[in-house]
A and B are shown apart, each in its own frame.
Chain A
Amino acid sequence: MDRRTEDRVPVVQVKNLTIDIPMDEGVLTPVRGVSFSIHEGETLGLVGESGCGKSLTSKAILGINDKKCRTGGEILFSEADHVLDLLKLKYGSEEIRKIRGERASMIFQEPMVAFHPMYTIGAQINECTRLHITSDKVKSKEITLDMMKRVGIANAEKRYDQYPHEFSGGMLQRALIAMALVCRPALLIADEPTTALDVTIQAQILELMKSLQKEFDMSILFITHDLGVVANMCDRVAVMYLGKIVEEASVREIYKNPKHPYTKGLIGSVHKVGTHNQSKLFSIDGTVPLALNLPKRCGFYERCSSRIEGVCNRLEPGRTMLDDDHSVNCFLYDKENIHG
């Protein structure tokens, strides 16, 4: 099975995660068996386009998906002396709430709407401090202010008492990061944190995240569709398509040596600044199908230009390890199963 070169226990290990949503028309299966691990201090990029299930996957770790979602599989979270399966925790229970914000936290795409408009920023960040670290008013405010300074909010004392509308987008994202990291969690889930920000602000925020990661020795699950950001931020990349991870490798391998046709198509669609390549951008035909009542075949079959008739439309490819580090779900590399 999967064996990593390190024998360290990963901070979080997602094993065969499935999410079903029953609907009138059938069962929606946005996540169909996702497995990955994140080690200490590592940044894993979860890349995919709309409809691939990356947001649902990340929210499942914190248990904040809608109640309608039926989740299966395991999410193993390493605590100091034991390993906890997050999916076994009851929805909304005290145990899962202890994990949220303290051991694993999340930042979102739109910082402008992530804060309550009627409370000060300081009070909102402090809420997290008081819940998890200390309920002492003075001490918690100190800790909060310290965190605000670390994330680069100038004039933290003054800003503490200001309201969200007085902050710019970049500042709000810093405040959100402060709120997420004030308890020094082991895992930070970042769901498209810079998509809504200007380019120069995005650069600032990404730098900030990298430095804080080093300082706190934190793992990051970075969800995005921006291949430039991925190249900049991530150590490893998992590419998702239609609820499954189709390829996983180190960031270099993904960009230099992509194997799955979807990954290749994705890399080919993006124009790299600094190349004056004027040939046509590669584009993948068609659109992502609906994850409703999916037939038993490779999810990418309809759009794949290298598909093998009789194989790709009849079976679902399993995971093939190309070497220690690089795995792909594709029959092109799974010679055994083709004839099996």
Chain B
Amino acid sequence: MSEKKRKNHQNDESYFLASQWTLMRRKLMKHGLARFSMVLLGLLYCIAIFGNFVAPSDLVAYNAKTKNCPPTKIHWVHEGDFIGPFVYGLESERNMETFQLEYREDTARIYRIRWFVDGPEYKFWGLFPTTKHLFGVEDDGYLFLFGSDSMGRDLFSRVILGSQVSLTIPFVGTVISFVLGVLIGSASGYFGGVVDTVVQRIIEVLSSFPSIPLWMALSAAIPSDIPVVRMYLYITIIISLLSWTKLARIVRGKFISLRNEDFVTAAKLAGVSDLQIMLKHLVPGFMSYLIVNLTLEIPSMIIGETSMSFLGLGIRSPATSWGVLLQEAQDISSIASYPWRLIPLIAVVVTVLAFNFLGDGLRDAADPYK
């Protein structure tokens, strides 16, 4: 680290006492986009965690009467009076020329949007049953914030419930890749020789597989009648099987470069055991790089899972994810007639962007000593 940088904070005691993580955190906070992304992602994950509560409807509320309904407009003023957020009743009529249902607002019926309403029953975090939802309308009113799909189900709720899968599978998958990558990469970098050669060749073979055909093959091996959670797990494992290789390479590279640093030699001379050197000097040495790479790994996993489900290879009904939702937006006629079906795409894009900005900020902050 340059003398000038050190001198910039010459009288800042807190700078002197700051560990690497503190310095990283401080620098990260200065990055505007990263800060914003962190808040956004925090919000998205919160919504996903409380998904069943936040979503006004659930996954199985089929209703032939509300097929392909456009997003419901929220009104605040009725005939000149301000009465808070509400929606009008829904009336449908079949157009005799296009044979499609057209919806109109019935201004006679008013359904106020309320907080903590009763809705479809669900198990809160799988623990206890409840009917409370964050917001919604009374019994026979319809609130389709993002419109409805071809089976009359509320897209908004489906997007939220889908995020539970789309946001967590990549996370879990990344953790698995992380563990695999660190273990295998460390062994490869530390032992060198034959171990290193074998591992590197394996990594090369795995990396040269085209991912989608491989996923197709693997998911065809999953029986179709297993419970949702197990299927979820299998999908996660399949995705992380290929992505650990990138991390392992990074870890190995860092290991090799750090191995020759003077402070590692000094530790060796002091009599510190090899294992201790690995744990105390080498692993913390590349931790910051790993964190950055992890953050950038998650978006590719999101896209991976979304792609798989979109192709029908991943999550299947009745479970849902953003990829499954996008299946409905596959043909041009549906997009032309029902453009709100692309909203899950916006969700994917926003999430991936947010992770990328965060990763950028982390990468800038990752070497606070430069």
Contact = CB atoms under 8 A, between A and B. Distances in A.
Contact of B3 (A23, A25, A50, A292): A50
Interface in B1-52: 3-4, 7-8, 10
Interface string A14-58: 000000000101000000000000000000000000110000000
Interface residues of A, number: 7
B32 to A, nearest CB: 15
B10 A23 contact: no
A295 interface: no
A51 B6 CA distance: 12
Contacts of B7: 51, 289-290, 292
Contacts, number: 14
A25 B3 CA distance: 16
Interface string A289-308: 11010000000000000000
Most buried by B among A50, A51, A290: A290
A291 to B, nearest CB: 8
Interface in B158-208: none
Most buried by B among A23, A51, A289, A292: A292
A289 B4 CA distance: 10
Contacts of A25: 8
B10 A289 contact: yes
A289 B10 CA distance: 9
Contacts of B3: 50-51
A51 B3 CA distance: 8
B5 to A, nearest CB: 11
Nearest to A25: B8
A25 B7 CA distance: 11
A156 to B, nearest CB: 39
Contacts of A23: 8
Contacts of A292: 7-8, 10
Contacts of B8: 23, 25, 290, 292
Nearest to A50: B3
A292 B5 CA distance: 12
Contacts of A289: 7, 10
Interface string A205-237: 000000000000000000000000000000000
Contacts of B10: 289-290, 292
Contacts of A290: 7-8, 10
Interface in B216-243: none
A23 B8 CA distance: 9
Nearest to B7: A290
B84 to A, nearest CB: 47
A290 B8 CA distance: 7
14 contacts: A23-B8, A25-B8, A50-B3, A51-B3, A51-B4, A51-B7, A289-B7, A289-B10, A290-B7, A290-B8, A290-B10, A292-B7, A292-B8, A292-B10
Interface of A: 23, 25, 50-51, 289-290, 292
Interface of B: 3-4, 7-8, 10
Across the A-B interface, give the 10 residue pairs with the lowest CB-CB distance, nearest first: A290-B7, A290-B10, A50-B3, A25-B8, A51-B3, A290-B8, A292-B8, A23-B8, A292-B7, A289-B10
Given A23-B8, A51-B3, 12 more contacts: A25-B8, A50-B3, A51-B4, A51-B7, A289-B7, A289-B10, A290-B7, A290-B8, A290-B10, A292-B7, A292-B8, A292-B10
